[in-house]
Each structure stands twice: as C-alpha cells, then as structure tokens.
Amino acid sequence: MLRRTNKEIMSVSYVVMLLFVGMIAYLGYFTVHDADTFRNNSHNGKRLALLEDKYIRGEIQAADGTTLAASVTEDGKDTRYYPYGKTFAHVVGYSYNGVTGIESQGASYLLNSHTNPIIRIIEALRGIKSSGDTVITTLDVNLQQTVYQAMSDYNGAAVVMEPSTGKVLAMVSRPGFDPNTLPDKWEDLVNDSGNSSLVNRATQGLYTPGSTFKILTALEYMRENPSSWPSFTFDCDGTYTVEDYTINCSKKKEHGEQDLRAAFANSCNGAFAALGQQLSFSRFYNMCGDFGFNTSLGTRVPTATSKFELSNNNSTWKILQTAIGQGDTQITPMLNCLIVSAVANNGVMMNPYLIDSVVTRYGDKVASFAPASLRTVMTAAEAAEMEKMMEKVVTDGTGSEAQGSGYTVAGKTGSAETSKDVETNAWFVGYATDDNNNARQIAVSIVLEEGGSGGQAAAPVARKIFDAWYENQ
C-alpha cells in the first residue's frame, strides 16, 4: 500500500516536473520572446504565419462584449467568422492574403494566450492549438450600424470619436465588402480599382477638405489678428475676383455684409479667399503642420499623411483656393475628426484608439489601454471661440440639418469640388454635447463622395448619429 502510494507520488512528481520544464520552455518562448518581437510588429508575415500554426485567432469584440470576429474550426480547418459582415469590414479588418484593421493591430494579442500555463502546456503536449486572447475594442455596435445605414449608398467614410479620450466609437468606409466571402471574392475585390472596396477610406482616404478647412483658415486669421479680427468685414455679392481669377460662393449666393463669424457660418467663399490673401503663408503652413498635416501623426490607429502646401511662391489662384479648402490640400476623414475633437477638448488633440483592453478567453484581464493626448493644437480660449463659431454654423448657417433635440451641435459643412464633371463631395465635421451633461460628447467626421451639398447630404447623417447616441445613453 505504502509502496504503491510512493509510486503514485513519484509519478505525479514526474508529471509536474515535466510540466514545469515544459512551462519554462513554453512561456520562455511564447510569452517573452513573442511579446518583445511582435508588439507593434504585426506585419511580419513569416512570424505571423508561425503563430497562426500554433494559435487559433482570439475573438474581437465590441465595447459591450458583442462578437465582431471569431474563429470557427471545421474538419480541422480554422476559418474566421464575422457576424456583422460589411458593417464592420474595414475597421475589424481581415486575415486572408494579408492582415488589416484590428486583425492586424491586435495580432500580437489575438495570436498569443495568457490563459493558465498548465492549460496551455496540456494543449501543447496534446498537439492542439491554443485559442488566442480576446481583444475588446472601443466600438459601439448600435452606432456603427447607424452610421453604415445613414450613409445609404454613397461611397465615403465616417469616423465617430469621443473627444475627451480618443476612443473611436464607430468607423465606416463604403463601399463595404463581406469579409466572410473573401476567399470567393478576392480576385474581384483586388481588381476592382474603380471602387477600391478593400481600402479603409476613413484612415487611408485622402480628400479635398472643402469648406471644413475654414476652421483652420479662420483660426490662423484670428491668431495673426488677435485684437482686430472681430472687426473684419467683407461685402459679398456672390463672386470675388482677383486678377483674372473668380471665386464663387455656393450657387453664387450674395451673402452681403459679413464679419468673420457670419462668413464662417454661411461658408462665404469670397470672404475666406479675401482674408486668405492676408495670411502669412509660412505661419499658416506651420500651424497646419502642428495640426497633423505633412507629418506622420503617430496615432495608435494607422492613418495616411494629410497634405497641405502653401508658400510665398504660390500663385494667386492657389492661395485663393487653399484658403477655402480647395487647391492641393488633402485630408483623411480621421484627421478631420481629430481636429474637431480638439476643439471640443479645449484644444487638446487626443490619440485615437480602437483597442480598449485584452482578456484571456476566460475573461481574465491581460492588458488595458488608457487615453493619451497626441498634441495641444489650440489654447483653451481659441477652442472656446472656435466652438462658438461652429455652433453658429448649426444655429444660423449651413449646418442646420445636423441639429436634433436634447443636445447642442458645433460643426462645419463642406462641399468639396473634385472635378467639374461630378457632384461635390459632401462633408460634415463637428460634435454634439448633451444639454443636461448626462451623456458623453461625440465628434463626427463624415464625407459622402459626390453627395453634393455638405449641409444637405452630410449634416443629416451627423444628426442620425447624434440621435442614435443620445437615445441610447
């Protein structure tokens, strides 16, 4: 009896020893080595493929725990399932012939496991793949669906963000694609250069900002004329002519006598072209650089570089165009969202993020991510003044369609020309504040390709987003 017990103890000890040795080898390799090598290096295809052999990709979830991507194993083969199809396609991304979106940004978590080491060792010894950790995003399912539907059939993009934290609540790019059908549709999608359905326009799309850019033109003018800007006046008769060049207001509307606030609210092109000529181009260029143009922003959400060009050598035509957001300026919907969010956040631009936390498949916390500021782009006083001007756009100007009930909107419309032959791209950027201060602020940046007027086409989309948000708070 005694001998048998001893034998049992010996055998248990042996197994524990084996597990312990295995654990050191296993954790030594997978946790330490992988963490160092893979964090922020998810594009390493060969290494990623090695991990794909060892792990089943973990789940991607919305902020409330709703599944946005999960792995399904059938006949020994792992496939990825995306319950919301097109709606979350670009932001969640895919892992097929390349890795994009959160599938890429979160790869070092999705393809790693922090469950109990014993469980993992047993799985390893049995030769079965471990499930990776679960990535919990900042995304709001209801808001994402609202944005996707509100954009109807327009191509374009929208970003919805909480200004005080940088949490991205929704991010839509259209046209969409169904990530569940990528293996069947891949050839069609990669050859579809006309629509570029696979491109995430919200972060990679570079658009002419149109009149949304007047936020920066107005701010630069106020900085250069700190005491005299309130007495700026311009008498608009619908067109503004310099040398051989003519700038028209929308539909050649005569805005009449305009001060800066009225010109901003009415989006008077003549007034902005006129004051644009008075700016210091080097200062204007530097300010746009501070706001994130011509530079890699260093955002946690990978974003293309927006472009601003203006120098003393530029032609009169380019100066007039640049002041009203035309010319060669190009902006991502993401940067436009960051700019209005900074106005809402007392001048501090927050670093946008999509991954809120990481947990094991059993729900134990692995990592969590805190809000971080990117840069301070305005003084609090400048932000307060800009907020007043943007509120006037909605109460008295071109953005009235963005207003719903129970919240106050500050915004700017844009109708950006891309070619004489097609409709303008419709923009609305801005944010809403709950009138009772019970619910969180949200900022939006919406562009609808060939949508026409920003006030008519994009502002109502903003309103639907604000309504959906505040109805659910």
By CB under 5 A, tell whether 275 contacts Zn ion. Answer: no
- Residue 134 or 267: the one with the smaller Cβ distance to Zn ion is 267
- Residue 4 or 251: the one with the smaller Cβ distance to Zn ion is 251
Which helix (H) or strand (E) is 4 found in, with range? helix 2-27
Q: How far apart are CA 305 and CA 368, in angstroms?
A: 27
Alpha helical stretches, state H, 277-408: 281-290, 316-323, 333-344, 380-396
Which helix (H) or strand (E) is 185 found in, with range? helix 182-190
**Which residues share a beta bridge with 241?**
246
Smallest gap from residue 313 Cβ to Zn ion (A): 28
Tell me how crowded residue 6 is: count the other CB atoms within 10 A of its CB: 10
By CB under 5 A, tell whether 270 contacts Zn ion. Answer: yes
Q: How many residues contact Zn ion, by CB under 5 A?
A: 5
Smallest gap from residue 218 Cβ to Zn ion (A): 14
- Residue 104 or 398: the one with the smaller Cβ distance to Zn ion is 398
- Residue 64 or 235: the one with the smaller Cβ distance to Zn ion is 235
Q: Which two tokens stand for residue 228?
A: 């005299």
By CB under 5 A, tell whether 101 contacts Zn ion. Answer: no
Smallest gap from residue 271 Cβ to Zn ion (A): 6
- Give Cα 292 to chain centroid, integer Å: 14
By CB under 5 A, tell whether 260 contacts Zn ion. Answer: no
User: Of 268, 335, 374, 378, which lies in the binding site for Zn ion, with binding defined by CB under 5 A?
Assistant: 268
By CB under 5 A, tell whether 110 contacts Zn ion. Answer: no
- Residue 274 or 442: the one with the smaller Cβ distance to Zn ion is 274
Question: What are all long-range contacts of 283-290, with beta carbons under 8 Å and residues at least 24 apart?
Answer: 283/220, 283/223, 283/224, 284/217, 284/220, 284/310, 285/310, 285/311, 287/216, 287/219, 287/220, 287/223, 288/216, 290/375, 290/377
Q: How far apart are CA 326 and CA 207, in angstroms?
A: 10
By CB under 5 A, tell whether 414 contacts Zn ion. Answer: no
Cβ-contact 202, 333 below 8 angstroms: yes
- Residue 31 or 248: the one with the smaller Cβ distance to Zn ion is 248
Q: What SS3 state is found at 146? A: helix
Binding to Zn ion by CB under 5 A, coded x per residue (else -) over 219-258, reads -----------------x------------x-----x---
Smallest gap from residue 276 Cβ to Zn ion (A): 14
By CB under 5 A, tell whether 265 contacts Zn ion. Answer: no
Smallest gap from residue 255 Cβ to Zn ion (A): 4
Smallest gap from residue 272 Cβ to Zn ion (A): 9
Task: Write out the residues near Zn ion by the rule CB under 5 A.
Answer: 236, 249, 255, 268, 270
